[in-house]
Chains A and B, each alone.
Chain A
Amino acid sequence: MVNVVESDQLRWIVLLPLLAAAYHGVMLGIVRRPTPRWLIVGLSCGSVLTSFMLSCLAFWELIQLPAESNLLLDDVYTWIGSGLGAENLTAELALAFDPLAAVMCLVVTGVGSLIHVYSVGYMEGDQRDDCGFQRFFCYLNLFTFSMLVLVLGDSLVLMFLGWEGVGLCSYLLIGFWYMDSHNAYCGSKAFIVNRVGDLGFLVGLFVLFGALSEAGTPVVAFRDIAAEFGGIVDATVRLPFLGEARVVTVAALCFFLGAVGKSAQLPLHVWLPDAMAGPTPVSALIHAATMVTAGVYMVCRMSFLYAASPEASAVVAWTGALTALFGATLAIVQTDVKKVLAYSTVSQLGYMFLAAGCGGFSAALFHLGTHAFFKALLFLGAGSVILALHHEQDTEKMGGLRRLLPVTHWLFLVGVLAIGGVPPLAGFFSKDEILVAAYVSEVPGHAWLYRIGLVTAGLTAFYMWRLQCRMFYGRSRVEPGLRERVEEPDGWMSNPLWILASLAALAGFVGLPQAWGDVLTVSDSNSLANFVSPVLAAGGSHAVENGTEYGVALRSLAASLAGFGLAHFFYLRRPELPGKLRKALPSVHRLLVHKYYVDELYDAVLVRPLVALSERVLYRGVDAKLIDGLGVEGTARAVRALAAHGLKYAQTGFSQSYVFLMLLGALAVVGYLVR
C-alpha cells in the first residue's frame, strides 16, 4: 500500500487552463466583443506556464518525500457515490501525482507552454477567421486541461473523462479551419476512428470493474485497483463465441484497443496522417507530443494488468513493432513534410508499445518523453518553414533552404539527428533502451521484434535524412518570387525551438543506461527508470549485462548510420536515383504511396456498406417508412380516418337524431342494470 500525502495545490495545475479556456469561451460565445490580443496571450500562455511551475513545485515536493511514500493526492470531492456495501461505487474527483504522472505532467505542461508561446507567433498573421486567434487558444487551453485530467486523474473514470476531452479538442483543432470542408472531414475522421478505441476503453473498464465487484472490491481508483488486483488475477469471464478467458487478458486487450485508437496504432492509425490538416502547433502538441502518447501512458498506468497477462503483452509488443515498421516504410515516400512527420510519429509510438509489450515500461516512458521533445521540435521547425514559405508544405517546392533559413536549419538538424539515433542526443538512448528491452524479453518471437526494431531504426534515419536533404540541401525548388520574401521567424517562434532543441539534445542523460554509467563512473545513472519504477510493474525487465547493452547500442548505431548514409547517397550525391528506383519498382512505390490501401479497404468494407445500410435501409426503409410512415403518421392517419369517416356521421346536427341516440343509450343503460 502506498502512503499517500495530501496536497491541495494539485487542482490548480488542472484548473488554470480550464479557467482560461472558460474565459475565452465566455468572451467568444456570450460577450461577443473582441478581446485585446495581449490579454488572450497573457491568459493562455500564463495559465499553462503557471501550471508548469506548479507541476515543478509538485515534482520537487514529490522527490522530497520520504522513501516509503511516492504519491501526492488532491481529493477534491466525491464525484460519484452510490450503492451500499459490496455493491457500492465511489469515484472520487481526485488528482494523483506519482512519479509516472509527474513525468507526464511535466512533459504536457512544459512542452505545452512552449507550444503555446510558439502559437502566438504562428497564429499571428492568420486572418482566416475573425475570432480565430482567441478560438484557437480557447481550444488549446481546453486541450491542456483535458490532457492534465487524463494524466492526473486518480481513477479510471476520471481518466476516461480526460480521454474523451482530449478527443474532443483534437477534433475541434484538426477542423480548426473548418471553412475548408476537407479539414472538417479530417476532424470527423479522427473523432470517429477514435470512437472505436473509446469503446474498447469503456468495455475494458466495465470488465475490470465487473470482476472487481464480483470479488467484493468495487474500486475504480488506480492505486486501489493495484492493491486489490490479486483478487481477480485468476478470475475468468465467459465471452460470446470465444468461451472462457481470463478477465485480466480481456480487460488488458480492451484497454489496448483504446490505446490503439488514441495512439494511432495498426489498424486504427488512419486518422493521424489526416489530422495534419490542423494548424502546425496543434500537430506538434496534440498529434506528436502529448495526446497520441496517452495510449502509452495508459498502458504504463495499467502496467500491473499487462504484466499479469503475457498474451496481452505479446499483442501489445507485436502491434507496436509492426506499426513501427509500417509507419517508417510509409514515411519514406511521402513528400508533404507534415505527412512524413505524422508517419514518423505513428512509427515512434509503435516503438513505445513495443517497449511496453516487452515489459520495458520505463523505456516506453523514456521514449515518450524524448520523443515529445524532438518531435515537437521537428514539427515546430517544419511549422517555421511552412510559415516562411507562406503555407507551403510540399517538399517538392523546398530544397536549399539552408541558406535562406540558417537558424531553423540548425535547429531542425538537431531534431533529425535526435530521432535518427545519433549519440549522444536523446533519441539514441531512449531507442536503445527499447531495443534492449525487446532483445532480452520473453515475448514470443522477441528475436524478430528486436530485428524489426533495428530495421525501423535504420529506416527512421533514412527518411529523416531524406526529409532534411529535400528541405534544406541541394538545389532550391522554391518559387523564384517567393524566395526573396522568405525570412526567419520572430522570437515568439524561435525561442521555444531553442529550448526544445537543447532538451532534445540533452534529455537522454536522465535515462542513461547503467552500462554507460559504468563507463562514466556514475552510479544509478538511469535516474528516470529509478524514479518511476516503484509505480510500474516489474514484468519482464531483466538485469542486462553490460556486454549485451554495448552490442545492442553498436548495432542500432550502425543501423542509424547506414540509414543516414543511404539517404545522403540517394538524395544528395545521386538525386536521380530515387526516380530510377521508382520506375524499377512501380508496384512497391504505388503500394507505399497508397499507404498499403488501408483507407481504401476501410472505405470499401466498412464505410460504404455502412452508409448504404443507413441511407437505404435504416433511413429510407426503417425510419422514414416504418417508424415515421407506419408508426407515427400511420396511426395518426388511422385515428383521423376513424373519426372523419366513421364517428363523424353520428353528429348529424339534427336534434331528433341526437335524442334518438340518447334514447338508445338510456335503453342500453337500463337494460344492462335490469338484466
Chain B
Amino acid sequence: MIPETIFVAVLAPIGFAAIGAMLVLLGEVLLSRSQSFLGRPWNARLVGSVLAGVSMLSLLLGLFVSIQWFASGDVQVFNPAHPLLQLDRFSALASALIITAALLSCALATYYLEVVGINHAEYYALLLLATAGMLTMVTAIDFLPLFVGLELMSIPLYALAGFDRRRLSSNESALKYFLIGSFASAVLLYGVALLYGATGSTSFAALREGFDPQSPLALTGLGLVVVGFAFKISAVPFHQWAPDVYEGAPSSVTAYMSVAVKATGVLALLRLLALGAAPLGGVGATVLDGPDAGLLDASLGQVLGGLAALSMIVGNLMAVIQDNVKRLLAYSSVAHAGYLLVGVAAGTAEAWSAAVFYLIVYTFMNLGAFAIVVALAQGGRDCERVASFAGLARARPGLAALMTIFLLALTGIPPTAGFFAKFGVFSAAVNVGLVPLAIIGVVMSVVSVYAYLRIPVLMYMHEPEEFAGAPAQAQSGERFVLLACAVAVLALGILPNGGTLLDFSLGEQRFALSVPSVLDWARAAVAFLVP
C-alpha cells in the first residue's frame, strides 16, 4: 500500500533502467537453464542480441517517459514528507541525455563483445544498473539519494572496467578505478557529513538556508563535495585514474564511461549548485558582477575556474604525446571537463545553458570517436595504437571520414557542433569577465589541434600498415551509432536556429537551450568583436 503522497512516477525512468537490468539477468538465467532441456547450447550471438534488445527496450521506455515529463513541465517530488527525489524539467533533460548515451552504448556493444569474446548477459545488466545510478544522481535533491546513486553508478562501472577479465590491463583498470573511486567516494561522503554537521540536514534546500559562509566546517564540507564531483568528471588534479582506466577497460565500456559519467557529474553538480548553493555567494560577488550573477560564490567560482584551467592545460598537453588512441581520448575527456567547468564556473544562465549544450554535443562527438575505435576492433583485440590509423582512408574511407568529423568536432572547428559548444562556453565566460579562462581555453584548443589532427593526417596522408585483414563493414549496431552521432554533431552545428528549444528553470536558475544557427553565432561573434 503506497501512501498517496508518494509519487511513484518520479521513479519511472530510474525504474525502467533497474527493472531492465533484472529482466536481463533473469533472461540470462532462463536461457542458460533451458539449454539443459534442449540439449544444445543457444546461439551466443542470438542470446546477446536478445538481451541487448531487452536492455534497449527498457531504456527506450525510460527515454520516452523522460521526454514526456519534460514536455509536460511538471515538478513532482517523491515522498514529500522527506523529499529525496524530484522529477523536474532539468532532471528530465538530464535523464534523456544519459539514457541516450546508454542506448547508443548498448547498440555499440553487441558486436564488439562478441569480437573480444566477452559476450555475457551481465554486461547489459551492469550497464543498466549504472544508468539507474546516474539517473538517481540527476534526480536527487538530497545528499542521501545523491550518494546512493553515485555508488549505484560506480560499482557496476568498476565491474564493467574489469569485464574482460582475461586481460591483465582490464583487471588493472578495474582495480585502480575501484581503489581511487572508493577514495573519492569517501571524500565526497566526508564532505556530506561535514555539511550535515553544519546545517543539520542532508537536503539541498536545507543547505541553501542553513549554510554559513563563515563556518570552516561548512566550507570544508562544500570543498570536499566539489572534490568528489571533480573526481567523477576527471578534472585535474583528480584525473589521473582516467587514462589508465580508459585504456584498460573494454572500448565499449570506455565509450560509455567517458560520456555518461561526465554528463552525470556535471549535471548533478549543476543541480546541486542551482538548488543548494544560492545563499552561499551573496549576490554581486567579486568575480561575477552582473544581473545574472550571484548563484555561485566568488571563491567557489574561482576554485572551479582553477580546476577548469588546470584541466584544459594538462589534458590538452598530455593528449599531444599519447600514442594510444584510448589514452589520447582519455586526456581529451580531461580537457573537455575543463571546458565544461568553464561554463559551470561562469555561473550565469547563459553559461550554464552553454555548459548543458556542450554536454549534449560532447556526448555525441566523443561517443562517435570511441565508436570508431570499437568498430575497428578485430581478432579479439582493440585497435588502439595511433599509428594503426595510418592509411585508413584507403582501407575504410567511410570510417576515416566519420572519424575526421568527430575529431574536428572535438577540436572545435565549424561547422561541427563542437565549435558552437565551445564558442558558447567561452563567450559566456567572457561576458562575466572570466577572460583569462577563455584565453587559456582558446590557446589550449589550438594545442588540441596538434593532438587530434595527427589522426586524420595519418589516415589520409600515410600508407596503411596493417589494415589488410580489416572487416569488410561495420556492423549494423555500430553503423547506427556512428550515423546517429555524425548526424547529431553536424545537425547541431549546421541547422538553422529553431528558436529556443528547451527553456526551463531549476531553482532560481533559468536554462535556455537553443540549437544555435551559424548565422546567430556569427552575429554574436561580430557583435563581440565590434562593440
What CA separation (Å) do A137 and B140 show in the bound complex?
78
Q: Which residues of B contact A577 (CB under 8 A)?
A: none
B293-321 vs A, CB cutoff 8 Å, 1 = contact: the mask equals 00000011011001100000010011011
Q: Decide yes or no: A659 and B180 within 8 Å by CB, A651-B243, A672-B303 being known contacts.
A: yes
Q: Which residues of B contact A636 (CB under 8 A)?
A: 450
| Cβ-defined contact, B219 with A670, below 8 A | yes
| Cβ-defined contact, B243 with A674, below 8 A | no
B168-206 vs A, CB cutoff 8 Å, 1 = contact: the mask equals 000000011001100110010000000000000000000
The count of chain A contact residues (Cβ–Cβ below 8 Å) is 26
* A2 lies within 8 A of chain B by Cβ: no
Pick the most buried of B238, B240, B299: most chain A CB atoms within 10 A of its CB.
B240
**Contact of A639 (CB < 8 Å), options: B175, B184, B314, B447:** B447
| Cβ-defined contact, A665 with B222, below 8 A | no
* B220 lies within 8 A of chain A by Cβ: yes
What CA separation (Å) do A618 and B494 show in the bound complex?
40
Main secondary structure of the interface of B (DSSP, over half): helix
Pick the most buried of B176, B179, B237, B306: most chain A CB atoms within 10 A of its CB.
B237
* B88 lies within 8 A of chain A by Cβ: no
Closest beta carbon of chain A to B310's beta carbon, Å: 9
| Cβ-defined contact, B226 with A669, below 8 A | yes
Q: Which residues of A contact B303 (CB under 8 A)?
A: 669, 672-673
Q: Which residues of B contact A639 (CB under 8 A)?
A: 317, 320, 447, 450
Q: Which residues of B contact A662 (CB under 8 A)?
A: 180, 183-184, 187, 227, 231, 237-238, 240
What CA separation (Å) do A611 and B143 show in the bound complex?
74
What CA separation (Å) do A636 and B240 show in the bound complex?
24
| Cβ-defined contact, B317 with A659, below 8 A | no
| Cβ-defined contact, A647 with B219, below 8 A | no
Q: Which residues of B contact A651 (CB under 8 A)?
A: 240, 243, 318
* B10 lies within 8 A of chain A by Cβ: no
| Cβ-defined contact, A647 with B220, below 8 A | no
Q: Which residues of B contact A673 (CB under 8 A)?
A: 219-220, 222-223, 299-300, 303
| Cβ-defined contact, B237 with A661, below 8 A | yes
Taking CB atoms and an 8 Å cut-off, the chain A residues in 612-645 that contact chain B are 636, 639-640, 642-644
What CA separation (Å) do A655 and B447 show in the bound complex?
28
Closest beta carbon of chain A to B297's beta carbon, Å: 9
Taking CB atoms and an 8 Å cut-off, the chain B residues in 314-337 that contact chain A are 314, 317-318, 320-321
| Cβ-defined contact, A640 with B176, below 8 A | no
**Contact of B180 (CB < 8 Å), options: A642, A643, A658:** A658
The count of chain B contact residues (Cβ–Cβ below 8 Å) is 36
| Cβ-defined contact, B216 with A674, below 8 A | yes
Q: Which residues of A contact B180 (CB under 8 A)?
A: 655, 658-659, 662
- Which chain A residue has the least Cβ–Cβ distance from B216? A674
Q: Decide yes or no: A670 and B223 within 8 Å by CB, A658-B241, A665-B237 being known contacts.
A: yes
What CA separation (Å) do A650 and B313 show in the bound complex?
14
A379-406 vs B, CB cutoff 8 Å, 1 = contact: the mask equals 0000000000000000000000000000
What CA separation (Å) do A665 and B239 show in the bound complex?
11
**Contact of A647 (CB < 8 Å), options: B244, B299, B314, B447:** B314
What CA separation (Å) do A125 and B307 show in the bound complex?
78
Closest beta carbon of chain B to A585's beta carbon, Å: 64
- Which chain B residue has the least Cβ–Cβ distance from A646? B317
Q: Which residues of B contact A33 (CB under 8 A)?
A: none
| Cβ-defined contact, B321 with A644, below 8 A | yes
Q: Decide yes or no: A672 and B299 within 8 Å by CB, A639-B450, A648-B318, A666-B224 being known contacts.
A: yes
- Which chain A residue has the least Cβ–Cβ distance from B235? A665
Q: Decide yes or no: A653 and B244 within 8 Å by CB, A639-B320, A670-B224 being known contacts.
A: yes
Closest beta carbon of chain B to A631's beta carbon, Å: 12
| Cβ-defined contact, A643 with B227, below 8 A | no
Q: Which residues of A contact B241 (CB under 8 A)?
A: 655, 658
What CA separation (Å) do A595 and B512 show in the bound complex?
77
| Cβ-defined contact, A666 with B227, below 8 A | yes
A176-209 vs B, CB cutoff 8 Å, 1 = contact: the mask equals 0000000000000000000000000000000000
Closest beta carbon of chain B to A567's beta carbon, Å: 66
What CA separation (Å) do A673 and B227 show in the bound complex?
12
Q: Which residues of A contact B307 (CB under 8 A)?
A: 669
A133-157 vs B, CB cutoff 8 Å, 1 = contact: the mask equals 0000000000000000000000000
| Cβ-defined contact, A658 with B240, below 8 A | yes
| Cβ-defined contact, B320 with A640, below 8 A | yes
| Cβ-defined contact, B240 with A661, below 8 A | yes
Closest beta carbon of chain B to A671's beta carbon, Å: 8
What CA separation (Å) do A672 and B304 show in the bound complex?
11
- Which chain B residue has the least Cβ–Cβ distance from A636? B450
- Which chain B residue has the least Cβ–Cβ distance from A653? B244
Q: Which residues of B contact A670 (CB under 8 A)?
A: 219-220, 223-224, 227
What CA separation (Å) do A626 and B302 show in the bound complex?
38
**Contact of A655 (CB < 8 Å), options: B176, B230, B237, B314:** B176
| Cβ-defined contact, B318 with A643, below 8 A | yes
| Cβ-defined contact, B223 with A669, below 8 A | yes
Task: Identify the 4 closest CB pairs spanning chains A and B, nearest first.
Answer: A670-B223, A665-B237, A658-B240, A643-B317
Q: List 22 A-B contacts (CB under 8 A).
A: A636-B450, A643-B318, A643-B321, A647-B318, A650-B240, A651-B243, A653-B244, A655-B179, A655-B180, A658-B176, A659-B179, A661-B237, A662-B180, A662-B187, A662-B240, A669-B226, A669-B303, A670-B224, A672-B223, A672-B303, A674-B216, A674-B223
**A contacts, CB < 8 Å to B:** 636, 639-640, 642-644, 647-648, 650-651, 653, 655, 657-659, 661-662, 664-666, 669-670, 672-675
- Given A647-B317, A662-B231, 10 more A-B residue pairs with CB atoms under 8 Å apart are A639-B317, A644-B321, A648-B318, A653-B244, A657-B240, A662-B238, A669-B230, A669-B303, A673-B222, A673-B300
